[in-house]
Amino acid sequence: MAVTVSIPTILRTHTGGEKSVSAAGSTLAEVIDNLDANHGGIKGRLVKDGTLHRFVNIYVNDEDVRFAGGLEAKVADGDNVTILPAVAGGAR
């Protein structure tokens, strides 16, 4: 099960500057483990205490995985996984 993963600027230090890499897995959790095996340290930037980091958005194709099972979201061969840092903040 090969998927294409888009890597945001801030995480490209883990992928040798590559904007897009391939990874394998049938759930998002498996894809992230596989990514981490090839691009050490990336998992720690995405997952914290077993759940997705609050300010990192991950999409399978067009769907935000928060609405599709989070780390258990299903991933199929040929899917596109996009990682985007949240743009957020504020005075409080």
Closest CA to 74 of 1, 22, 20: 1
Nearer to another protein, 31 or 58 (CB): 58
Q: Is 17 a binder of another protein (CB under 8 A)? A: no
Residue of 42, 32, 45, 16 lying closest to 73 (CA atoms)? 32
CA-based nearest residue to 41, from 16, 61, 58, 22: 16
x/- string (CB under 8 A) for another protein, residues 43-82? ------------x-x-x--x-x-x---------------x
16 binds another protein (CB under 8 A): no
- What kind and span of H or E run contains 63? strand 63-64
Q: Which of 9, 16, 49, 77 touches another protein (CB under 8 A)?
A: 9
Point out which residues bind another protein (CB under 8 A).
8-10, 55, 57, 59, 62, 64, 66, 82, 84-92
